[in-house]
Chain A
Amino acid sequence: MALTGIEIFKLLAKTNCKECGYPTCLAFAMALASGKAELDACPYVSEDVREKLAEASAPPIRPVKIGMKDQMKTIGGETVMFRHEKTFFNPTLIAGLLTTAMSDADVDAKIETFNKMQFERVGLNLRPEMFAIKDADGDAAKFAALVKKVMDKSDAAIMLMSDKAEVLKAGAEVAKERRPVLYAATADNADAMGALAKELDLPLVAKAKDYDALADLTSKLTGMGLKDLLLDCEHRSIKEAFQDQVVFRRAALVPKFRPFGFPTVTFPCEMTDDPMKETLYAATFIAKYGGIVVLSDLVPHTVFPLLLERLNIYTDPQKPMIVTQGIYPINNPDENSPIAITTNFALTYFIVSGEIEGSKVPTWLLIMDTEGLSVMTAWAAGKFVGDAVGMFVKKSGIEEKAKTRTLIIPGYAAAISGDLEEELPNWKILIGPREASHIPAFLKSL
């Protein structure tokens, strides 16, 4: 557990010298506890105390940064076993496999598919973000050329895979600005791989066949001064690999077992030849603690369901999901199309817009900001009531887009229709169905 400000204060010199920029040692301790200050700002802290504080303040699972072309991604850094206990912070990265045994045409096609695979959803861009590039024959020049192609033609984050340090080095030189992950150090090559990762300051995967050997390996690598490690326990059956994910997360969080305090990399691509099964394995690692999942091929119909699952699992349960207030045209409405209104709770929006889309009836959907509350809750809380809705409709700009002056309100908000008629005197208020599933029949009956 992180130390409190008071606990940190007890370890400081208590001179109130102000050299750190804070008026007192206590203020400095408080700032340290909340992560606003760095311990290095205090010139009088002893080496002993420094170590104690560093140990206590380090996150239980190391957040590891990996670059895409224009942004940094983080994996690890998680603090709970179950998302409802707080939230999961850093979504599993989804990677596709490329190898030097693939033809140029194959590789080009895969990169092109990767670049196109971006799906818009409630203002979010859902996409896979990584390539795992694997050396098939130990040819460093060929490997470097493949890495260069990925660097030139995509913005992907990169994992470099080879059991030869010199091959990895050739790839890493080309990709170093994106901070690629190196795969992998084993007990046999730990010295060479560790030295390479240290020299280039890159994250390194530690790979071993069982827990004891893996703990030995990460301890050795941290002993060499490496901080950004990832774990791979080489199990390639789903039962064992699933266990590994649970064991690593639990060991890192509960007894704070440092040798496993790192994100994991998982390989559904090495677990089956069936792409459908592979997708279920990936789904398992997205729900249960995988840092990276490597798929044999990124195909939209396998990746899309995984992107949705990841969106769901990594949604912060502490915050309501909301969509932006405004006018949403569905099925290409024109000035004579009907106008419906509902709240900005994302689930409400998804379900209502989905049903309207399914009905194929061109419709204007107005989404009003109710701070993410659903229709009944928003009504009960006084946020979805006659005057507020009326005010919003007038200001929304819908009167310029449509000639129709009929407003469909949710069935559960039927009680506001009287007030709303007063607020919008030249509008007709129509009470829609209570359940979204009845929207298509309702719209078709207009």
Chain B
Amino acid sequence: MAFEIPKQVYSGSIKTVTIGKGGKAITLGGETSYPFYVFEGKMPNLPRIAMEVWDVDPGEDWAEPAKEPFKDVLGDPVAWAKKCVNEYGADAIALILVSTDPNGQDASPEAAAATAKKVAEAIDVPLIVYGTSNVEKDAEVLPAVAEACQGMSISIGPVQDKNYKKIGAAALGYNHTVVANTPIDVNLAKQLNILLGQLGVKDSQILVDPTTGGLGYGLEYSYSVMERDRMAALTQEDEKLQLPIINNMANEVWKVKECKLSNAEAPELGDQAKRGILMEAVTAVSLLLAGSDLLIMRHPEAVKLVKSYIQEMAG
């Protein structure tokens, strides 16, 4: 029996966005089919992995197995970022400015910007800088970061509908990429991209952060929003959704209790380190299948597994 694969017609494709500069700059996007449907489309730029670096020592906030690979560099974001690049092969670094949280240390925008600059200068891979999702504080911190990192082509976010003007203008002024973040909703994502466009931010400088739920804690919402996003972009020519997707996933996975329970506390859940690594890697696989272009990940073993998975799926 001669069987022919029924065709999915794609009328659109994902635009490309290049982050970073020089030889280690990376280009994201360009897909012409659903994720990894390489039998009927192209993925010219395979999804990439940025490794997460905090600007403070995470202390008790992180599960032991997640701290172990970084135990000599926690609290030193520059050394930490270099270790991710040199030893763990990070494609990019995502610096999370935890110190600026108004409910925590409430560090000043200047101090945070100085840290971001030092990290950016110490690495040759692209830098992504995340604030704490506090609308007011991020609107002070991220423009300061944009200014300090002038000419370094970094990416800054999360840019939300309540602070897009300030952060978007700073990104425009200093020629950085923005990470446009909306709360798990296709229409809001589209709307924010339109607003950024009206501000003058080009599509080639926008990454979409759809908000990421952790495994077992709302992952399905992100998964379906990303699938709808890709469906609109690829089959309904929804131009304002044809942008690469970034998932800030690491903390969502590792903060849950099942990652924090030790072998002694929960023998029925098997080995804590392997469980955490697999919870992170399984989350990454799910997000990749839904359309992610750039994952922010934490554990080097999970990063390694997912990198080889991406190669096998699309190579």
Interface residues of A (CB under 8 A from B): 82-84, 116-117, 119, 121, 211-212, 215-216, 219, 237-239, 242-243, 246-247, 250-251, 254-255, 257, 259, 276-277, 279-280, 283-284, 287-288, 299-302, 304-306, 308-309, 311-313, 315, 317, 347, 350-351, 354, 357-358, 433, 435, 437-438, 441
Flag whether B2 is at the interface (Cβ < 8 A). Answer: yes
Given A82-B227, A305-B278, A284 and B6 contact (CB-CB distance below 8 Å): no
**Chain A residue nearest in CB terms to B37:** A246
**B231 contacts across to A, CB distance below 8 A:** 82
* Interface of chain B: mostly helix, strand, loop or mixed: helix
B24 at the interface (CB under 8 A from A): no
Contacts of B314 in A (CB 8 A): 239
* Closest Cβ–Cβ distance, residue A251 to chain B (whole Å): 6
> Cβ of A317: which chain B residues have Cβ within 8 Å of it?
220, 224
- Residues of chain B within 8 A of A350, CB atoms compared: 216-218
A215 touches B305 (CB 8 A): no
Rounded to whole angstroms, the CA-CA distance of A115 and B128 in the bound complex is 46
In chain B, positions 157-192 with a C-beta closer than 8 Å to chain A are none
Q: Which of B6, B228, B281 contacts A280 (CB 8 A)?
A: B281
B2 touches A302 (CB 8 A): no
Chain A CB within 8 A of B85 CB? no
Beta-carbon contact of B282 and A280 below 8 Å? yes
Nearest Cβ on chain A to B18's Cβ, whole angstroms: 27
Tell whether A277 pairs with B282 under 8 Å between CB atoms, given A284-B289, A317-B224, A350-B217. Answer: no
Chain B 264-275 interface 0/1 with A at a Cβ cutoff of 8 Å (1 = within): 000011111011
Known: A287-B286, A312-B219. A276 touches B278 (CB 8 A): yes
- 14 further contact pairs, Cβ within 8 A, besides A212-B2, A304-B258, A308-B279: A84-B227, A116-B268, A119-B269, A211-B5, A247-B39, A259-B3, A280-B305, A284-B285, A287-B223, A287-B286, A301-B270, A305-B275, A305-B282, A312-B220
Q: How far is the CB of B58 from chain A (nearest CB, A)?
A: 13
B129 beta carbon closer than 8 Å to chain A: no
Interface residues of B (CB under 8 A from A): 1-3, 5-6, 8, 36-39, 103, 213, 215-220, 223-224, 227-228, 231, 255-258, 260, 268-272, 274-275, 277-279, 281-283, 285-286, 289-290, 301, 305-306, 308-309, 312-315
| Residue pair B278, A301 in contact (C-beta under 8 Å) | yes
How many Å lie between the Cα of A116 and that of B267 in the bound state? 11
List of B residues within 8 angstroms of A287 by Cβ: 223, 285-286, 289-290
Known contacts A82-B231, A350-B217, A358-B257; A219/B282 CB under 8 A: no
Task: Report 22 cross-chain contacts, Cβ distance below 8 Å, ordered by A residue.
Answer: A82-B228, A82-B231, A119-B269, A238-B312, A242-B313, A247-B5, A276-B301, A277-B308, A279-B281, A280-B285, A287-B223, A301-B270, A304-B269, A305-B279, A308-B216, A308-B258, A308-B282, A312-B218, A313-B223, A350-B218, A354-B257, A437-B255
Interchain CA distance A290-B161 in the complex, whole Å: 39
CB within 8 Å for A250 and B279 given contacts A276-B274, A276-B305:
no
Residues of B within 8 A of A437 (CB): 255
List the B residue with the shortest CB-CB distance to A237.
B312
Residue from A276, A283, A312, A350 whose CB has the most chain B CB atoms within 10 Å: A312
B172 to chain A, nearest CB (A): 30
Chain A residues, Cβ within 8 Å of B281:
276, 279-280, 283, 305
- Residues from chain B with Cβ under 8 Å of A238 in the complex: 309, 312-313
Minimum Cβ distance to chain B for residue A262 (Å): 14
Residues from chain A with Cβ under 8 Å of B313 in the complex: 238-239, 242, 284
The answer to whether B224 and A215 have CB atoms under 8 Å apart is: no
Q: Are B1 and A215 in contact (CB under 8 A)?
A: yes
Neighbour of A433 across the interface among B103, B215, B272, B278, CB < 8 A: B103
Which residue of chain A has its CB nearest to the CB of B274? A301
Asked whether A212 lies within 8 Å of B278 as measured between CB atoms, the reply is no
Residues of B within 8 A of A259 (CB): 1, 3
A358 contacts which of B2, B103, B260, B309 (Cβ < 8 Å)? B260
Question: CA A284 – CA B312 in complex, angstroms?
Answer: 12
Chain B residues with CB under 8 A of A301: 269-272, 274-275, 278
Is the pair A357, B309 in contact by a Cβ cutoff of 8 Å? no
Complex interface: chain A residues within 8 A of B285 (CB) = 280, 283-284, 287
| A302:B274 contact, CB within 8 angstroms | yes
In the assembled complex, how far is the CB of residue A341 from the closest CB belonging to chain B, in whole angstroms?
A: 20
Measured between alpha carbons, how far is A110 from B309 in the docked complex, in Å? Answer: 28
Distance, CA A69 to CA B6, complexed state (A)? 39
Chain A residues in 8 Å Cβ range of B8? 250
Least distance between A438 CB and chain B CB atoms (Å): 5
In contact, A347 and B217 (Cβ under 8 angstroms):
yes
| 5 nearest A-B pairs in the assembled complex, by CB-CB distance | A301-B270, A300-B270, A308-B216, A301-B275, A312-B220
